[in-house]
Amino acid sequence: MGRLFGTDGVRGLANAELTVELALRLAGGAAAVLAPANSGQRPVAVVGRDPRASGEMLEAAVTAGLTAAGVDVLSVGVQPTPAVAYLTAAYGADLGVMISASHNPMPDNGIKIFAAGGHKLEDSVEDRIEAVLQGENGSPARPTGAGIGRVRVAEDAVDRYLAHLVSTMHHPLTGLTVVVDCAHGAASRVGPEAYEAAGATVIAIGAEPDGLNINLDCGSTHLEGLQKAVLEHGADLGLAHDGDADRCLAVDASGAVVDGDAIMAILALSMSEAGELHDNTLVTTVMSNLGLHLAMREASIEVRTVGVGDRYVLEELRRGGFSLGGEQSGHIVLPAHGTTGDGVLTGLRLMERMSSTGRSLAELAAVMTTLPQVLVNVRVSDKAAVASDPTVANAVADAERELGETGRVLLRPSGTEQLVRVMVEAADDNHARRLADRLADVVAAV
pLDDT tens track of the chain, all 446 residues?
Answer: 468 998 789 999 999 999 999 999 999 999 999 998 666 689 999 999 999 999 999 999 999 999 999 999 999 999 999 999 999 999 999 999 999 999 999 999 999 999 999 999 998 999 999 999 988 766 777 899 999 999 999 999 999 999 999 999 999 999 999 999 999 999 999 999 999 999 999 999 999 999 999 999 999 999 999 999 999 999 999 999 999 999 999 999 999 999 999 999 999 999 999 999 999 999 999 889 999 999 999 999 999 999 888 889 999 999 999 999 999 999 999 999 999 999 999 999 999 999 999 999 999 999 999 999 899 999 988 888 898 899 999 999 999 999 988 899 999 887 667 889 999 999 889 999 999 999 999 999 88
Same domain, 334 and 386: no
Phi and psi at residue 409, in whole multiples of 5°? -125, 135
Cβ atoms within 10 Å of 304's Cβ, excluding its own: 16
Same domain, 204 and 223: yes
Any domain includes 234:
yes
Q: Which of 122, 155, 188 is the last residue of a domain?
A: 155
Classify residue 264 by burial, with Cβ atoms within 10 Å: 0-12, 13-18, 19+: buried
Same domain, 248 and 192: yes
Same domain, 133 and 191: no
Is the CB of residue 282 less than 8 Å from the CB of residue 327?
A: no
Same domain, 108 and 250: no
Same domain, 230 and 355: yes
Query: Could you give the 3-state DSSP secondary structure of residue 114?
Result: strand
Catalytic residue check, 102: yes
Same domain, 65 and 114: yes
Q: How many domains does the chain have?
A: 3
Alpha helices in 372-414 (DSSP H): 383-388, 390-403
Classify residue 69 by burial, with Cβ atoms within 10 Å: 0-12, 13-18, 19+: buried
Domain of residue 402, residue span: 373-444
Same domain, 279 and 143: no
pTM attached to this predicted model: 0.91
Instruction: Detail the residues annotated as belonging to a binding site for Mg(2+).
Output: 102, 242, 244, 246
Q: Which of 341, 365, 389 is the last residue of a domain?
A: 365
Same domain, 164 and 143: no
Which member of 102, 270, 329, 355 is catalytic?
Answer: 102
Any domain includes 3:
no
Beta bridge partners of 98: 48, 112
Q: What CATH number should be reported for the domain holding residue 355?
A: 3.40.120.10
Classify residue 381 by burial, with Cβ atoms within 10 Å: 0-12, 13-18, 19+: exposed
Same domain, 193 and 217: yes
